[in-house]
Structure formats: structure tokens, C-alpha cells
């Protein structure tokens, strides 16, 4: 199986030893505490799961600027985005002088302790540096961009230092059959005897084009299996909830994929909508899962018209150093049903086709049809999947 990023073995930050974890929980009750932002909480979950290997905690200002500018931390570790605990001046005042603090969960009732952090440094990020980081990561400063808005919502103070994670927030309880850590996925891949695994990232339900793309990629790279890995954290308004996506994807796999070829899992992270940079982050943590390939398609991790359709593929060719990652990228074009060939195709790979030769439905049109109880074309969506989505929209 492919090695984790940056180390010979995975080093998740979750405290697995029950005795040590209970001791830390007890200690945390007497520590100075802050309720962190949702992004920092999601970062803690990802660090605990081993997805952000080899990081040991939250980055300082030098790491944040380095990863934004050149995708490299101060110690030379390749990493595509800053992993931060950004807080307000009020938060800093409440933990002044503390060497160790408790991080409380903003997304669970009662704000239980999520992690314990050793405070290596407290730094105020200047407006200029925060703007620089924002521009580099998102390629825009537009406050209407959901990722830009979320990144700039917390305060400007950074608390850096190593963390010990005590739980996985709401993801384990809300998605018990789907949420998995990176080390659990590695174990399942190993148990299945898979050597080559192609990962498919999704924050949406899967229609027939997605289904066929996974099958094309598996065949194209000679993979033993497919990891369908869905985001379970916070999304922008209008995106379909994780439980609905989960049900739709499971029904598709049950009915239309060969048995024992697909692993359906999810991860606890808030979507960045950072396009190319987020695609590289997806590659990093799929390597940590043990995947040998990641499908990077048209407008991967994008939103609106902030990124070009293939920027997320080009960043691997133009900006990611050749030896930075072991995982390989399967480049995919837009896939759609060809009326001429009566099958799903990659649009760039077929000849003598015009736009009218493909079946397209906009997201708005799909939502409108499902809300009205109308059947989606069978060339676009499997009927069993459409029914699950239709029930959601009609409710």
C-alpha cells in the first residue's frame, strides 16, 4: 500500500489509549478554554484522524505564509493550505499566559472538549498577511466566495502548537456507518487486499456520469477498488445534506457496481471551495488513506466561476513539485450521456459531437424537476437515486 504523506507510517493525533484519554479529559476541565471556530474544529478532527499527516498540530504564522505562498511549511514539509486555529482578541485574553489549553467544540451542544493544545505561540496576523494568504489559497478576495467568507470570519490571532484530539466531534454519532478515520480506511483497504485504489471526492450525490467516471478510472489505472469519500462537514447554502447524499450513493453502489469493489466512507471537514488548492489537499489526505490515485475532474472543489474548468488539474503539473506526493492524479473531463453512442463518455474523447449530442441538466433544473415530482432522464440519473433525492426536495 502507498505510504502516508511525509512519514513512513501514519501518525494520527487522536489519543487512542483509553486511560491516557480519560486523564486528558479530566485535566482539560481545569485548563483555560476557548470555543474554537468551526474550521479549527474540523482541522482538529482531520488531524486526529491522520488525514493531515505529518502535521502535529496547528500552524504558526511562518507556516501559514509558507504554505500559502509555496505550499511548504517553515521546516520544509509540503502542505497545500494553512491548518490554523484562528481566534479573537477576547479568546487570547481568556488564555493569556497559559501553556496548555482546552479546545471546546462549537458544533456540539454544551461545547465539550474536543482537543487539548500546547501553546507554542500566540501571534496576531496582520490584515496584509491575512489578505495575502486569502488571495493565494482562494485566488480571490471576494467576500461572496463562501471559502473566503469562512476563512475571514474568525479573528486574526493564531494559536499554534501540537494538539491531542479526544473525540471526533459530531461525525461519529451523526454518521456512524460512514465516518472513517484515515487509519481505519487503510485497515479496510488492507483487509480487502487492495494494492491500487482510486479515490473519488464528492460533496454531491452521484449521478450516472459520476458512476461511469469511477468505473473508467478504476479500469484506466488497473485499480483493485474505489474509495468513494464524501465530505460530511459544513457546506454552503443549497448543497444537499450529507445523510441524503449518503443514502443516494449507497443505493447506486448496491445496484450498479460489482460487489466488493467500492468502499463508501466520509470525512469530517468543512468544505473550503478553494478549487486547485483544495484539490491538492484532497490528494494529500487520500494518500494518507492509502489510495494510489485521485480522480480530479472538471472544476474540482470549485464554486461559481472563480476557477477555470481545469485549474485543479493544472496545479499538479505547474505548481506541485514532482516528488512532493506519491499519489497519482487521474485527469477527468466532463462526462455526459452521448445520444449518438448511447452511453456515458468523456466529452473531450469523442469525435463528431456537438453540444446538442449530449444530455445536460443544470443543477437548478434538476432541483426543479425533483421538487415537482418529475422523473429525471434515465441517461442522467439512476431512477433509484432520483427517488431518494426527490423525497428530500419534496419534503
pLDDT score at 368: 87
Mean per-residue pLDDT, 145-161: 96
In this predicted structure, the answer to whether residue 349 has a pLDDT above a threshold of 90 is no
Q: Please state whether 276 falls in left (phi above 0), alpha (psi between -120 and 50) or beta.
A: alpha
pLDDT score at 234: 86
- Which percentage of the chain shows pLDDT scores above 70? 100
Mean per-residue pLDDT, 53-81: 98
pLDDT score at 361: 79
Q: How confident is the model at residue 309 (pLDDT cuts 50, 70, 90)?
A: very high
In this predicted structure, the answer to whether residue 29 has a pLDDT above a threshold of 90 is yes
Residue ranges per structural domain of the chain: 18-169, 181-267+273-394
String of DSSP letters for 28-89: HTTS-EEE--HHHHHHHHHHHHTTTTT--EE--HHHHHHHHHHSB-TTS-B-SS----EE-H
pLDDT digits (tens, 9 = 90+) for 101-150: 999 999 999 999 999 999 999 999 999 999 999 999 999 999 999 999 99
In this predicted structure, the answer to whether residue 302 has a pLDDT above a threshold of 90 is yes
In this predicted structure, the answer to whether residue 365 has a pLDDT above a threshold of 90 is no
CA 259 to chain centre: 26
Mean per-residue pLDDT, 230-255: 91
In this predicted structure, the answer to whether residue 366 has a pLDDT above a threshold of 90 is no
pLDDT digits (tens, 9 = 90+) for 261-286: 999 999 999 999 999 999 999 999 99
The residue among 239 and 337 whose pLDDT is bigger is 337
Residue positions annotated with a catalytic role: 203-204
In this predicted structure, the answer to whether residue 260 has a pLDDT above a threshold of 80 is yes
In this predicted structure, the answer to whether residue 99 has a pLDDT above a threshold of 80 is yes
Of 159-168, 182-191, 322-331, 360-369, the least confident? 360-369
String of DSSP letters for 103-122: EE-TTSTT--EEEEEE--EE
pLDDT score at 239: 81
Mean per-residue pLDDT, 344-358: 91
Residues in the chain: 395
In this predicted structure, the answer to whether residue 238 has a pLDDT above a threshold of 80 is no
d(CA 58, CA 89): 18
d(CA 241, CA 261): 25
* Superfamily covering domain 18-169: Sulfate adenylyltransferase (3.10.400.10)
Mean per-residue pLDDT, 18-42: 97
Contact 134, 112 (CB under 8 A): no
In this predicted structure, the answer to whether residue 289 has a pLDDT above a threshold of 90 is yes
d(CA 11, CA 24): 19
Q: How confident is the model at residue 330 (pLDDT cuts 50, 70, 90)?
A: very high
Contacts by residues 305-310 (CB-CB < 8 Å, ≥ 24 positions apart): 306/138, 306/139, 306/140, 306/142, 306/145, 306/275, 307/139, 307/275, 307/276, 309/334
In this predicted structure, the answer to whether residue 240 has a pLDDT above a threshold of 90 is no
In this predicted structure, the answer to whether residue 363 has a pLDDT above a threshold of 90 is no
Q: How high does pLDDT run on average in the chain?
A: 95
Mean per-residue pLDDT, 139-168: 97
d(CA 238, CA 203): 12
In this predicted structure, the answer to whether residue 364 has a pLDDT above a threshold of 80 is no
Mean per-residue pLDDT, 286-306: 95
Is 181-267+273-394 a domain of CATH 3.40.50.620? yes
d(CA 104, CA 368): 40
Mean per-residue pLDDT, 41-50: 98
Mean per-residue pLDDT, 206-213: 93
Amino acid at each position: 500500500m502507498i505510504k502516508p504523506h511525509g512519514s513512513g507510517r501514519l501518525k494520527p493525533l487522536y489519543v487512542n489509549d483509553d486511560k491516557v484519554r480519560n486523564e486528558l479529559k479530566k485535566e482539560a476541565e481545569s485548563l483555560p478554554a476557548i470555543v474554537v471556530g468551526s474550521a479549527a474544529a474540523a482541522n482538529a478532527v482531520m488531524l486526529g484522524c491522520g488525514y493531515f499527516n505529518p502535521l502535529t498540530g496547528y500552524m504558526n504564522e511562518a507556516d501559514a505564509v509558507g504554505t500559502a505562498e509555496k505550499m511548504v511549511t517553515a521546516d520544509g514539509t509540503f502542505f497545500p493550505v494553512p491548518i490554523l486555529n484562528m481566534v479573537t482578541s477576547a479568546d487570547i485574553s481568556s488564555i493569556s499566559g497559559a501553556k496548555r489549553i482546552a479546545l471546546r467544540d462549537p458544533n456540539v451542544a454544551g461545547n465539550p472538549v474536543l482537543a487539548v493544545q500546547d501553546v507554542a505561540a500566540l501571534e496576531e496576523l496582520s490584515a496584509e498577511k491575512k489578505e495575502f494568504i486569502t488571495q493565494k489559497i482562494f485566488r480571490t478576495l471576494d467576500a461572496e466566495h463562501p471559502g473566503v467568507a469562512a476563512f475571514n470570519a474568525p479573528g486574526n490571532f493564531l494559536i499554534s502548537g501540537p494538539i491531542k484530539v479526544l473525540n471526533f466531534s459530531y461525525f461519529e454519532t451523526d454518521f456512524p456507518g460512514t465516518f472513517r478515520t484515515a487509519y481505519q480506511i487503510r485497515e479496510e483497504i488492507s483487509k480487502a487486499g487492495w494494492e491500487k485504489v482510486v479515490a473519488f471526492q464528492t460533496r454531491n450525490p452521484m449521478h450516472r456520469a459520476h458512476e461511469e467516471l469511477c468505473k473508467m478510472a478504476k479500469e484506466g489505472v488497473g485499480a483493485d477498488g474505489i474509495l468513494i469519500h464524501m465530505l460530511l462537514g459544513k457546506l454552503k447554502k443549497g448543497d444537499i445534506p450529507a445523510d441524503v447524499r449518503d443514502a443516494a450513493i449507497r443505493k447506486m453502489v448496491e445496484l450498479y457496481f460489482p460487489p466488493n469493489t467500492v468502499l463508501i466512507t466520509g470525512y469530517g471537514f468543512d468544505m473550503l471551495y478553494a478549487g486547485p488548492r483544495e484539490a491538492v489537499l484532497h490528494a494529500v489526505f487520500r494518500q494518507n488513506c492509502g489510495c494510489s490515485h485521485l480522480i480530479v475532474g472538471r472544476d474540482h472543489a470549485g464554486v461559481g466561476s472563480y476557477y477555470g474548468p481545469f485549474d485543479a488539474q493544472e496545479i499538479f503539473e505547474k505548481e506541485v513539485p514532482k516528488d512532493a506526493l506519491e499519489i497519482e492524479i487521474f485527469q477527468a473531463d466532463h462526462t455526459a450521456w452521448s445520444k449518438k453512442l448511447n452511453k456515458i463518455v468523456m466529452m473531450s474523447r469523442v469525435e463528431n459531437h456537438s453540444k446538442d449530442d449530449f444530455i445536460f441538466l443544470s443543477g437548478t433544473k434538476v432541483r426543479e424537476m425533483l421538487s415537482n415530482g418529475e422523473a429525471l432522464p434515465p441517461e442522467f440519473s439512476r431512477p433509484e437515486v432520483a427517488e431518494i433525492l426527490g423525497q428530500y426536495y419534496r419534503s
